[in-house]
Amino acid sequence: MDKKLLKYFSNIQPLSDEEIKAIDETMSIQHFKKDTILLEEGQTSTDVYFFLEGIIRQYYLIDGEEKTTNFYADEQWVVSLNRINLNNPSTHYLECCTDCSVLTGNSKKGEDLYKKFPDLGIVSRKLMENVFADQQTKMEAFTINPPIIRYQNLLKSNPDLFQRIPQYQIASYIGVTPESLSRIRKRLLSKTKK
């Protein structure tokens, strides 16, 4: 098993050697080039991804315009909460913004693991709680905070993103036009010079 994933799981609950081996046998490392679409609107997939390296963007296509709703980076899970175990078609896209290395698994293999190792069901539940809590926090911050605070929060939580992602995608993510993002950046820059 990849060390990053093992560390992630160990922070939730220690795993036995047998559990580690079983997880390792159900997940595979995949490499994707920049601009690869991992999931399209309308596609049905039960894959989940644990990011080893790279950045992925989640977006919706609304009236021909991309609306970015999330960025995932190193050591994060990418799980489409509205589809997992429901077999529903996706309502969004997942795109690699950089070259990416990911561990890929799926819910069917996961279910088989839980039957053999019931404690892994507890780990999975805690993992999903973490993913859900993270999404809830992001949604609340987006709803409550004005764009300048959303920008500052993104800058603080993921500064590397600004060197690797086009500005129009960052603008979309914080809910403004590229021109408004430019004004926000100028305003913050002028405050730091004072």
Express each pLDDT in 70-129 by its tens digit. Answer: 998 877 888 765 545 556 788 899 999 999 999 888 777 878 888 888 888 888 888 888
* 3-class DSSP assignment, residue 175: coil
153 domain residue, yes or no: no
Mean pLDDT of 12-21: 86
Examine residue 70 and state whether it is found in any structural domain, yes or no.
Answer: yes
Asked if 91 contacts 60 with a C-beta cutoff of 8 angstroms, the reply is yes
Is 124 a member of any domain?
no
Q: Which domain holds residue 19?
A: 3-117
- Whether residue 57 lies inside any domain: the answer is yes
Task: Specify the CATH number for the domain of residue 68.
Answer: 2.60.120.10
The answer to whether position 36 is within a domain reads yes
Q: Is 146 part of a structural domain of the chain?
A: no
pLDDT tens digit string along 118-139?
A: 888 888 888 888 888 888 888 8
Helix (H, G, I), strand (E, B) or coil at 181: helix
The domain total for the chain is 1
Q: What is the mean pLDDT of the chain?
A: 86
Judge whether 30 lies within some domain.
yes
Output the CA torsion 149→154→159→161 (10° steps). -140
pLDDT at 33: 97
Is pTM beyond 0.85 here?
no
Q: Does residue 167 lie within any of the structural domains?
A: no
